[in-house]
Amino acid sequence: MRKVLFFLLITAAITDHAFSMEVSIPEGEHEAVLRTIQSWNEGWMARDAALAVADYAEDTDWTNAFGDRFQGRDELQQGLEFIFSLDFVMAGSSAGNTYEDVTFLTPEVAVIRSQLVRAGQQTDSGETMRDRHIDHLRVLQKRNGRWVIVSHLISQAKEKGSL
């Protein structure tokens, strides 16, 4: 039992130390990571799936707030072409991101958390939805000198007290 407790304490100390170390990031990397959001936002507004996926890895994994999952950039592009063809989905507008937090886990791996508000989107029956507060969690990896999105999870905050 003492050996197990000692192992757990050492593991916790090493893990705590590893996550508390600052990662040294070269100048300009923070901005380079954030630029990956631009092509997504511009592609969404223009209904241009190729532009929207321009900064995604070939082996990306993407899941939206409705549970649709696409694995691979080509599959994601095809899925977005379909989504962009749905007028009720594309109705409304998105304000700029309310926040964009970047965390570098290593010099080659970054995480972006961001949120935007989508107003005026409709249901498939044409009813206008309440404003949607949409959170994005993107994991990026630097490959061949370029930041690419390897995973993107989209979620939607529900109003407090609603199901």
Read off φ and ψ for residue 108, nearest 5 degrees.
Answer: -115, 0
Give the domain ranges of the chain: 28-157
User: Quick one: residue 95, left, alpha or beta (phi over 0 = left, psi -120 to 50 = alpha)?
Assistant: beta
Beta strands in the chain (DSSP E): 56-63, 69-71, 93-94, 99-106, 109-119, 132-143, 146-157
Tokens of 87: 């007028």
Beta strand extents in 12-145 (DSSP E only): 56-63, 69-71, 93-94, 99-106, 109-119, 132-143
Domain 28-157 annotated CATH 3.40.47.10: no
The C-alpha R_g of the chain, in whole angstroms, comes to 19
**Which pLDDT score, from 0 to 100, does residue 11 have?**
46
Per-residue pLDDT of the chain (163 residues; tens, 9 = 90+): 444 333 434 444 444 444 445 688 878 999 999 999 899 989 988 999 999 999 999 999 999 988 999 999 999 999 999 999 988 887 877 777 778 899 999 999 999 999 888 877 777 888 887 888 889 999 999 999 999 999 999 998 776 555 5
